[in-house]
Amino acid sequence: MTANIDTILILGATSGIGGAFARYFHAKGKKVIAAGRRLDIFEFNIENIGAIKSKFAELFTLYPILDTVVVIAGKIETLSFANASTSTAVSIVSEITTNFTGPIIIARTVILHLLSLTRPTTFITVSSALAYIPLREYPVYNGIKSGLY
């Protein structure tokens, strides 16, 4: 896969798997755009659905050869539907937006750009093993991640 990549955007590169992906591709000599909620250089909060189109317009202007987008950004909430005090409607919507709605809107925004390039391109969403082996502490997350498969 790395042979076809020139410039890669990693959404969710502030820590964990996303940070590891960013370091890996950078070590391979690829131009890496690391973005996430907590970055000062290029902040990209996937939960802000209304800003996705303008953020990508900005990215495509700055990096017209952007050929790979990896969506790793995620949020997991521990909750129990048997105990309403463990969550709120707002926290559940936030988790769904970050983990499911955001990546779908991003796909809708990005894929046309990728198709317009005259070379191989890649769009990846990262899910979780919890889609197949759910844990009861994460009822919303389990279902969302299975939806991305």
| Bridge partners, residue 20, by sequence | none
SS3 at position 40: coil
Predicted confidence at residue 86, as pLDDT, reads: 94
Q: By the 8 A CB rule, do 10 and 32 touch?
A: yes
138, two tokens: 């994460």
Q: pLDDT tens for residues 103-136?
A: 999 999 999 999 999 999 999 999 999 999 999 9
Count how many domains the chain has: 1
Q: pLDDT tens for residues 73-87?
A: 789 999 999 999 999
Question: Residue 63 belongs to a domain with what CATH number?
Answer: 3.40.50.720
Q: Which domain holds residue 57?
A: 2-148
Quick one: average pLDDT of 61-73? 92
What's the CA gap between 51 and 6, in Å, rounded?
25
Q: Is the pTM of this model over 0.85?
A: yes
What's the CA gap between 69 and 108, in Å, rounded?
12
